[in-house]
A and B are shown apart, each in its own frame.
Chain A
């Protein structure tokens, strides 16, 4: 444990091309891009499925199958197939992003459609009774009500992406996984342990970040953040959301 601490606090590890800040930025970059692409694909699709009820069977099963695809295998096969067609770093970055996007889509999708699907029918009826049309009901009632589950899906996806972005290092890319792979190559346990700690801390920070955004984005009427239930709800929002959206339907590497 002391070795890990001294590795983490050594000033030499905090600067330069292979320093912790640089690796951290690379890691955040791979994860952020993947999460963004996955959200752009999965959230509208999930909202559509939840709102219309159409294509539910196909989407649920496709997402289930995507979870079963091992990330490491998908990464290697995309590098071998796409690599020769791309140049420079993109030959590795593109396959890596594909893997992370495939990983992040199922939880985000599940969160989005479960969120809309589980909106109280009485609320939906009330919105219609007030004269709202389909798209209006979706935008002004269903999405705001679905936000807690949408966030839960995003948090679960982010957690998996941040943890899995470490395998980018196995195909020669950067990111915090470098410390694991480089450490493994020379049997440097303190470097590997330090890398693992950094990834876990990053995952936690990202999760807390989402929890904070969620606190301000979700209507207080939904979270019960008014009056006496304050304490209990706050605890729940800040607890790591490993899979509350995941367990609704049935990965990461």
Chain B
């Protein structure tokens, strides 16, 4: 506890970096996963290879991906961009299936009505199908957010500073306080991400509130 009070500003600055490294990929990953998920749903032939292919990305150990990133994108090993790109890859791996299944859960009658009302394919996707898929996509985003916060901490092994640095630092000095503080901060951060996603989901799905109130 005293260790924490003495190092509040350090912990806060590491938390800020952690938010950046885990949060930016979450948004980027969603933006990339939407078109891929849409393709997988639109063309049945593409569904198995796209879902399997993106699923494969998730089997790459995070430590390995962080280390190997410079080889693929030509950055320096300590560049935080490596972590952002690697985390984006994991987010895409998790979200493509969710987006595809979410779009698939939109009732056929709804898409047909939209077409009948004159919606063209792209406008129908953004105005009708995506909004209706929000609850399913949001469930996937929550899993991705929690998993991102945890995975980012591994980047401390390659020396990119964020809350995981408290783990490596504490372990090196045989000192549990920073590690415990780091774990608590990570869990709190994951909960915060979760709450933010729930709040955004509520804003985007007003009809669910009406339905809940009607019960």
A-side residues, CB < 8 A to B, are 64-65, 67-74, 76-77, 79-81, 159, 162-164, 166-167, 170-171, 177, 180-181, 183-184, 189, 192-193, 195-196, 199-200, 203-204, 207, 235, 239-244, 246-248, 250-253
* Contact call A73/B68, Cβ cutoff below 8 A: no
Task: Tell whether, in the assembled complex, residue B58 and residue A159 are in contact, meaning their CB atoms are under 8 Å apart.
Answer: yes
Q: B150 near A69 (CB under 8 angstroms)?
A: yes
Interface positions of B from 38 to 81, Cβ below 8 Å from A? 48, 51-52, 55-56, 58-65, 67-68, 71
Given contacts A192-B68, A242-B93, list 10 more A-B pairs with CB under 8 A: A64-B194, A67-B147, A70-B164, A196-B65, A242-B58, A250-B142, A251-B150, A252-B62, A252-B147, A252-B151
Query: How long is the Cα–Cα vector from A71 to B158 in the complex, in angstroms?
Result: 16
Residue among B60, B97, B136, B183 making CB contact with A163, cutoff 8 Å? B60
In this complex, the interface size class of chain B, counting residues with CB under 8 Å from chain A, is: 35 or more
| Distance between B196 CB and nearest chain A CB, rounded to angstroms | 13
In angstroms, Cα B168 to Cα A74, docked, is 11
For the complex of A and B, 6 pairs with smallest distance between CB atoms: A196-B64, A250-B142, A68-B190, A240-B55, A203-B59, A76-B171
Q: How far is the CA of A200 from the CA of B62 in the complex (A)?
A: 11
Q: Are A184 and B93 in contact, CB atoms less than 8 angstroms apart?
A: no
B174 touches A80 (CB 8 A): yes
Whether B183 contacts A74 by the Cβ 8 Å rule is: yes
**Nearest-CB distance from A129 to chain B (Å)?**
30
Question: Which residue of A has the minimal Cβ distance to B183?
Answer: A73
- Give the distance to chain B from A215, nearest Cβ to Cβ, in Å: 16
Residue of A nearest to B175 (CB): A80
The contact of B67 among A71, A184, A248, A252, by CB within 8 Å, is: A184
Q: Are A247 and B176 in contact (CB under 8 A)?
A: no
**Quick one: which of B136-193 are within 8 Å of A by CB?**
136, 139-140, 142-143, 146-147, 149-151, 153-154, 156-158, 163-164, 166-168, 170-171, 174-176, 179-180, 182-183, 186-187, 190-191
Query: Whose C-beta in chain A lies nearest to the C-beta of B138?
Result: A250
Kindly provide the distance from the CB of A22 to the nearest chain B CB, expressed in whole angstroms.
19
User: Does A250 contact B139, Cβ atoms closer than 8 Å?
Assistant: yes
Q: Name the one of A80, A167, A177, A199 contacting B60, with C-beta atoms under 8 angstroms.
A: A199
Residues of B near A199 (CB, < 8 A) are 59-61, 64
> CB of B98 within 8 A of chain A?
yes
By the criterion CB–CB under 8 Å, are B59 and A251 in contact? no
Number of A-B residue pairs with CB-CB distance less than 8 Å in the complex they form: 165
Using known A-B contacts A242-B94, A247-B140, determine if residue A189 contacts B71 with beta carbons closer than 8 Å: yes
In the complex the two chains form, what is the Cα distance from A72 to B136 in whole Å?
Answer: 30
0 or 1 for each of B111-124: is its CB under 8 Å from A? (1 = yes)? 00000000000000
Beta-carbon contact of B59 and A200 below 8 Å: yes
Q: Closest chain A residue to B163 by CB distance?
A: A70
Given A68-B190, A69-B186, A250-B146, residue A239 in contact with residue B51 (CB < 8 A): yes
Contact of A77 among B58, B60, B142, B176 (CB under 8 A): B176
Known A67-B150, A77-B180, A253-B153; judge A164-B94 contact (CB<8 A). Answer: no
9 contacts between A and B (CB under 8 A): A67-B190, A163-B58, A181-B157, A192-B67, A235-B48, A239-B52, A247-B97, A247-B139, A250-B194
